Chain A
């Protein structure tokens, strides 16, 4: 997996690069739009991380140029300007995803993983972790074979955690997948719903599967 980072802020680029390397990605960097486009057109990278504000050629123009030349490499746009219009603009230009700053590295990794997955294989209809199963078609959860009654939000929340495959999911990602909010609700909505889900999934069973990763979010996994 080769990722091209196009980012003019040196520190951000360094942070992205070390994080991605730790996760086993190969990384190359470009510090302006023109160099980034040149590098991307050479081919050989599997995904691009592109900042919107770039010297010489801005991120949106870069993606547009890339798409008009027929390259379908997945692109995630990064931007400090954030919010909805920018997101729409980015996706219109041909980006596959949009991540507003400030973002967590865990969010970036989750987006990257799902992009790569989208491009490779389909998910199985039944997700499984230990004795917990979730049927994505029947929208039904079972633990140790016993059906668990979940509200629609709780079902979405469980699906969101299971699809992350043991990775930590940030509150912001949960908010955007489960509630489809594009804003920060400023409440502990996520924590309240996770607590309720935990009661239904983990109270009568062991091991406990829903884990709180302090400062980062939640993960559904077996205790390591």
Chain B
């Protein structure tokens, strides 16, 4: 039955019931009137004021009928609208991650059931295009690897070949470097495509995050030394998290690399690790230029390049922070960029602490 018919039917039933109530009360009044006339004569009947009788009918018949109409109508509307509310809840939750889950259907063939079906169809088609885009990146990165190997190998042969004139060696070496850069981008794209498709497996080992942060401090110090950037570890508590050691190292190194590359010469980088509200909180602050607030969330987007108009040329693929975000999410954590009160750029990484059974 369609929704329109159902509402019409309920509406008619409510009206009919109201009519029955009004009718019953009228019958009661008329019946009483007749009895009075029969036993007390016309005079007794004349004492009954028609206005009062009408008022009684309205009060005892009309009011319950109205109440019945309001309550019944309210229930009716709620029942009729409930599928719309359910659908709204599902629609609100819909994003790229749950396109495969269909909206539940009533199966009664009404307008809303059809709408849910249409919506499921749309979700499915969206899901297909999402998967296609994802698989495209994944396949493209795989397909690029063999030609890259061949290019790399051929260039290596040219460099190793005594017949290659010295004048060409420099160019060959330069091409080789570009092939390596391309290989690196392709590798990072493949990582992200796999992460999107849920194809990456993460280990769940106990990782002493403070050790990783200390190692990172040493590496960041080395990376920053060229630009005279000073690296300090301001606070480091012993903290354990559950996760994939290698991926966490990758995540931290990406953050440190970003802090070095987007810094100013003779600037500084401050790292800290502490526990807060059942989370390990790692912060890395650098004295580089601060991004406008509306751009800060976008630094985790793929190939995001900051303020293009005023941006200085920074080496790197623009995928490092995307990878960092992807690893963070896989560990159930969060990552944000904001600015400190003294105007420096800060990235805060929060990872759930390891719940140890003993403590």
Q: Is A208's beta carbon under 8 Å from chain B? A: no
Q: Is B146's beta carbon under 8 Å from chain A? A: yes
Q: Is A222's beta carbon under 8 Å from chain B? A: no
Q: Which residues of A contact B253 (CB under 8 A)?
A: 185, 187
Q: Which residues of A contact B179 (CB under 8 A)?
A: 102
Q: Is B316 within 8 A of A186, CB to CB?
A: yes
Q: Which residues of B contact A84 (CB under 8 A)?
A: 201, 246
Query: Which residues between 215 and 230 of chain B lie within 8 Å of chain A, taking CB atoms?
Result: 218-219, 222-223, 225-226
Q: Most chain-A CB neighbours within 10 Å: which of B154, B188, B319?
A: B154
What CA separation (Å) do A82 and B183 show in the bound complex?
12
Nearest-neighbor residue (CB-CB) of A18 within chain B:
B157
What CA separation (Å) do A151 and B222 show in the bound complex?
12
Q: Is A15 within 8 A of B154, CB to CB?
A: yes
Given A11-B150, A181-B250, A186-B320, A215-B257 contact (CB < 8 Å): no
Q: Is B176 within 8 A of A215, CB to CB?
A: yes
Interface string of B115-156 (1 = CB under 8 A from A): 000000000000000000000000000110110111011111
Q: Is A192 within 8 A of B223, CB to CB?
A: yes
Q: Is A85 within 8 A of B317, CB to CB?
A: no
Nearest-neighbor residue (CB-CB) of B158 within chain A:
A215
Q: Is A215 within 8 A of B159, CB to CB?
A: yes
Among A83, A103, A192, A214, contact of B190 (Cβ-Cβ < 8 Å): A83
Interface size class of B (residues with CB under 8 A): 35 or more
B260 to chain A, nearest CB (A): 8
What CA separation (Å) do A103 and B194 show in the bound complex?
20
Q: Is A12 within 8 A of B201, CB to CB?
A: no
Nearest-neighbor residue (CB-CB) of A79 within chain B:
B145
Interface string of B231-258 (1 = CB under 8 A from A): 0000000000000001001100110010
What CA separation (Å) do A11 and B173 show in the bound complex?
21
What CA separation (Å) do A85 and B191 show in the bound complex?
12
Q: Is A57's beta carbon under 8 Å from chain B? A: no
Given A81-B142, A102-B149, A106-B156, A189-B184 contact (CB < 8 Å): no
Q: Which residues of A contact B191 (CB under 8 A)?
A: 83, 183
Given A183-B246, A193-B222, A214-B173, A104-B190 contact (CB < 8 Å): no
Nearest-neighbor residue (CB-CB) of B317 within chain A:
A186
B29 to chain A, nearest CB (A): 86
Nearest-neighbor residue (CB-CB) of B253 within chain A:
A185
Q: Is A192 within 8 A of B226, CB to CB?
A: yes
Among B155, B187, B250, contact of A82 (Cβ-Cβ < 8 Å): B187
Among B172, B222, B246, contact of A215 (Cβ-Cβ < 8 Å): B172
Q: Is A131's beta carbon under 8 Å from chain B? A: no
Among A18, A106, A171, A183, contact of B250 (Cβ-Cβ < 8 Å): A183
Q: Most chain-B CB neighbours within 10 Å: which of A106, A153, A185, A188?
A: A185
Q: Is B149 within 8 A of A103, CB to CB?
A: yes
A164 to chain B, nearest CB (A): 16
Q: Is A215 within 8 A of B155, CB to CB?
A: yes
Residues of chain B whose beta carbon lies under 8 Å from any beta carbon of chain A = 142-143, 145-146, 148-150, 152-157, 159-160, 170, 172-177, 179-180, 183-184, 186-188, 190-191, 194, 200-201, 218-219, 222-223, 225-226, 246, 249-250, 253-254, 257, 260, 316-317, 319-320
Residues of chain A whose beta carbon lies under 8 Å from any beta carbon of chain B = 9, 11-12, 15-16, 18-19, 22, 80-85, 100-106, 151, 153, 171, 181-189, 192-193, 196, 214-216
25 contacts between A and B (CB under 8 A): A11-B150, A12-B146, A12-B150, A15-B153, A16-B153, A19-B156, A80-B142, A80-B143, A80-B145, A81-B142, A83-B190, A83-B194, A100-B145, A101-B148, A102-B183, A105-B152, A171-B180, A183-B191, A183-B246, A185-B253, A187-B257, A189-B219, A192-B222, A215-B172, A216-B156
A-B contact sample (17 more), CB < 8 A, given A105-B153, A184-B187, A186-B188: A15-B157, A84-B246, A85-B201, A100-B145, A102-B145, A102-B152, A104-B152, A104-B156, A105-B152, A105-B157, A181-B246, A187-B257, A189-B222, A193-B222, A215-B156, A215-B175, A215-B176
